Amino acid sequence: IEQSAYHNDKLAMLGKIAAAIAHEIRNPLTSIRGFIQLLLPELQKLGRGEYGRIILDEIDRANEIIYEFLNSSKPSAPDKRKVRVAELLHEVTLLFQSEALLKGCQIDVDPIDDDIIISVDTKQIKQVFLNIIKNAVEVIGESQPERGGRVHIRVQRSNDSVWISFRDNGRGMDAKTLSRLFDPFFTTKSEGTGLGLSVCYRIIKNHGGTIQVDSELSVGTTFRVQLPLH
């Protein structure tokens, strides 16, 4: 869809204003969180500890939404450096070990050639991997644990690109979900932000890559990220 330059300018401006507001809201939230935490023992004495914990959880949720939003509205230009794909994936999968274990989900990474090197903004690309794996672990977590959830990560080189695939055996998606999953704020989760994949899409596009998805209901989903090699 073609958009007019005027429309794009307006969107960019709105994004900047929203990012500034989101940033400013974070500071008061942080102090509210701190004080509630200090009050927690008093609330517990009153038999109201549960209220305190709900407040903390909700503040965390608000923070998460702001965090994801700020990430998605950040100006594009990636801050690139040379890095091994193996290293990035190793760092990200480590973050999931305890959560995956808890949900009876196994994360397998096939051996990766050490000489597969990309030139990327490592923070942004780690965010992409994280968002994709997080969705997979979440979708596995909601299915019956006896199914033996698995996220399978493979890295392949082809010509001057690297393909990184993330396959899960979660419930898959219907056609309607598939057609909208990269839209900002599209979510099927009661606690979702719907920003994860729109952020991924943007980051990968800014790196000159592509992101594709294949999904089959009650079989699973595969995300494929393609990035230019260094």
Q: Which residues bind ligand ADP (CB under 6 A)?
A: 131, 135-136, 139, 168, 170, 173, 177, 181, 186-189, 192-198, 221
DSSP run (H or E) holding 177? helix 175-180
Q: Which residues bind Mg ion (CB under 5 A)?
A: 135, 196
**Minimum distance of Mg ion from residue 129's CB (angstroms):** 12
Strand partners, 224: 165, 212
Q: Classify burial at 180, counting beta carbons within 10 Å of its beta carbon; exposed 0-12, middle 13-18, buried 19 or more.
A: middle
Task: Round to whole Å and give the CA distance between 209 and 117.
Answer: 14
Find which of ligand ADP, Mg ion, none residue 136 binds, CB within 5 to 8 Å per kind: ligand ADP
Find which of Mg ion, ligand ADP, none residue 211 binds, CB within 5 to 8 Å per kind: none
Nearest residue (CB) to Mg ion, 41 versus 185: 185
Task: Round to whole Å and give the CA distance between 12 and 110.
Answer: 40
What lies within 8 Å, CB to CB, of 224 at 6+ separation is 163, 164, 165, 166, 211, 212, 213, 214
Nearest residue (CB) to Mg ion, 122 versus 198: 198
**Minimum distance of ligand ADP from residue 217's CB (angstroms):** 10
Residue closest to Mg ion (Cβ): 196
Find which of Mg ion, ligand ADP, none residue 181 binds, CB within 5 to 8 Å per kind: ligand ADP
**Minimum distance of ligand ADP from residue 96's CB (angstroms):** 13
Nearest residue (CB) to ligand ADP, 103 versus 230: 103
**Minimum distance of ligand ADP from residue 173's CB (angstroms):** 5
Find which of ligand ADP, Mg ion, none residue 189 binds, CB within 5 to 8 Å per kind: ligand ADP
Nearest residue (CB) to Mg ion, 119 versus 143: 143
Nearest residue (CB) to ligand ADP, 165 versus 221: 221
Query: What long-range pairs does 52-59 form, CB within 8 A, spacing at least 24?
Result: 59/29, 59/32, 59/33
**90, 107, 227 from 110: Cα distances, Å:** 11, 10, 18
Q: CA-based angle 206:223:156, to the nearest 5?
A: 85
Find which of ligand ADP, Mg ion, none residue 188 binds, CB within 5 to 8 Å per kind: ligand ADP
DSSP run (H or E) holding 24? helix 5-45
Q: In what order do the strands lie in the sheet with 161-168?
A: 105-109, 149-158, 161-168, 220-228, 210-216
Per the document, the length of the chain is 230
Find which of ligand ADP, Mg ion, none residue 139 binds, CB within 5 to 8 Å per kind: ligand ADP
Nearest residue (CB) to ligand ADP, 37 versus 188: 188
